[in-house]
Amino acid sequence: MTLRFFLCFIASGFFLLSPSQAEEKYNVLFIAADDMNNDLSAFGNAQVKTPNLERLAKMGVRFDRAYCQQPLCGPSRASLMTGLRPDTLDMHTLAHELREKNPNVVTLGQLFRQNGYFSARAGKIYHYGNPGMIGTDANDDPETWDERYNPAGIDKLQEEKIIRYGPNRKPRKDQLGISMAWWDPVSEDEEHTDGMVADKIVELIGKKKDEPFFLAAGFFNPHCPYVAPKRYFDLYPLDEITMPDLEEAKADLTDVPPMAVQRDTKHWPYYFDKVSLEEARRCKQAYYACNSFVDALVGKLLDALEENDLLDKTIIVFWSDHGYFLGEKGLWYKRKAFERSAKMPLIIAAPGLAAGKATTLPVELLDLYPTLADLCGLTPPSNLEGASLRPLLEDPDTAVWTKPAVTQIWHSPTAWGYSLRTERWRYTEWLEGEAGLELYDHNHDPEEITNLASDPGKADLMRNLSAQLKPFVQLKDHKRQ
């Protein structure tokens, strides 16, 4: 071998390994909101101002029908971080039991760690009691991360200033985790826990810009209590906040199986006894303010990527763990099989893939794990129960996607159900149909006002939907009646 040939051989070999060491790895910026529904300008509700989520949607694909696997923080987050359904994990409550029940599971961040990525989070990714566990590791999984950060701002440190309604009007800290309560301090973003979360992720983006990273920003808003700087409240004059008519709301529930709303009927409306319409309006205003606060922090994260020349090297995911009721049907909170509880915002922007697109095809949060593994060229565990969203990210207009979305509810061994969402229909079975059925036609009834389950003309359709749902009903025996 001549010296010239040898040098050419070495050069060509180097080229094969190099131009970016066999392809540069994409970073992942994983942004989570807590209890955020789709009342956002980025998803068509012009009243709720979210210009930075609109900006992100122009960079990627907006999923207009994205659904959680269970509308409760703990099981929803465990599911999406493992790519496994709550039944598979045997997790349906807020208990801290991921590794206890699934000691060998490989979580999403853990997969990235195993493949040479720096994995870190600030704030809430796994379940945190909010605000009780702010500032702690809460139900976190240490094997997911290289580093973890748990800031606590004035929303946690000055809880006595939060205004409470219903039975929780007295300043008891243990009652804020589920409350109708708000506070609008004249403050700066960085004085709040979520502002601190954003600042930490911005710092890590700068520090880790020269190595592949998986960074998770876990915002606590808009989970109750609804606390944000006053300027975000000022975006929503109270006289512009409307609430559904309560008589019409009550009528919406007359054809619904009792189990579907059993947690909500004792003190209907608004979940708590003696909450007035005016107080509910103030809480809705505060919720919208918190959404705009989160949006501003998303903008700060996008700016940090841009300032560090990382936008074309980073996959950005924005998600919430489930949706949220704000008085529709007279209901509040989550833990329901209706659309407003099961659906949440999801936006994915990936370099080189579709931008400024949207899709109405149903997808699931547990699809995020296989999607990110696929886009980053990583080999995920073989037992994942979602599917890669790559076809929808490449071209949502032509993608073939037939997988339905399944959301389940579990209250107790005698109260549980499963809901199937196709592009047109929502079909729900309570106790496998023994405690009632629901069917809604989203082409004509997007608010799910009329339950068609008793319509004889829909019998064949319901048999078909029930057959589609049946394989997903995998609740373990000890969780059944």
Respond yes or no: is residue 224 known to be catalytic: no
Mean pLDDT confidence for 136-149: 98
d(CA 182, CA 164): 7
**CB count in 10 Å sphere of residue 96:** 17
Phi, psi of 327 (to 5 degrees): 105, -10
A 10 A CB-CB count for 453 gives: 19
Q: How many CB atoms lie within 10 A of CB 444?
A: 10
CA 152 to chain centre: 22
Rounded-to-integer distance, Cα 377 and Cα 192, Å: 37
Give the max Cα distance, the chain. 91
Choose, from 73, 224, 283, 376, the residue flagged as catalytic: 73
pLDDT of residue 166: 84
**Portion of the chain with pLDDT greater than 70, in percent:** 94
The one catalytic residue among 92, 127, 192, 322: 127
Tell me yes or no: is domain 24-401 CATH 3.40.720.10. Answer: yes
- Token readout for 255 is 């054809």
201-238 confidence digits (pLDDT tens): 999 999 999 999 999 999 999 999 999 999 999 999 99
Residue 170 has pLDDT above 70, yes or no: no
Alpha carbon distance 140, 289 (integer Å): 28
Domain residue spans in the chain? Answer: 24-401
Decide: 79 and 365 in contact? Cβ < 8 Å: yes
pLDDT one-digit tens code per residue, 400-432: 999 999 999 999 999 999 999 999 999 999 999
At residue 5, does pLDDT exceed 70?
A: no
283 is catalytic: no
Q: Given the structure tokens 């131009």, which residue do they identify? A: 19
| pLDDT score at 2 | 41
pLDDT band, very low/low/confident/very high, at 371 (cuts 50, 70, 90): very high
pTM: 0.94
- For residue 172, the model assigns a pLDDT of 60
162-166, 213-217, 471-475, range with the lowest pLDDT:
162-166
Burial class (CB in 10 A: 0-12, 13-18, 19+), 367: buried
Residue 71 tokens read as: 């509308």
pLDDT digits (tens, 9 = 90+) for 304-345: 999 999 999 999 999 999 999 999 999 999 999 999 999 999
Handedness of CA 125, 131, 135, 140 (dihedral sign): negative
Question: To 10 degrees, what angle do helices 73-82 and 368-375 make?
Answer: 30
pLDDT band at residue 18 using 50, 70 and 90 as cut-offs:
very low
- Picking from 124, 120, 318, 292, the residue whose alpha carbon sits closest to that of residue 206 is 120
The amino acid present at 246, given as its one-letter code, is: L
Q: In what order do the strands lie in the sheet with 163-164?
A: 163-164, 181-183, 226-227
Mean pLDDT over 172-192 rounds to 90
pLDDT in tens, 233-267: 999 999 999 999 999 999 999 999 999 999 999 99
Q: Smallest Cα–Cα separation from 290: which of 188, 217, 219, 216?
A: 219
**Mean per-residue pLDDT of the chain:** 94
Q: How many CA atoms lie within 13 A of 186 on its CB side?
A: 0
Angstrom distance (rounded) from CA 365 to CA 84: 10
Kindly calculate the radius of gyration of the chain based on its CA atoms and give it in whole angstroms. Answer: 23
pLDDT of residue 4 exceeding 90, the answer is: no
- How far, in Å, are 75, 214, 232, 322 from residue 90 at the CA level? 9, 27, 39, 19
> Distances from the Cα of 148 to the Cαs of 126, 319, 386, in angstroms?
12, 20, 27
pLDDT of res. 16: 36
Rounded to an integer, the average pLDDT of 390-404 is 97
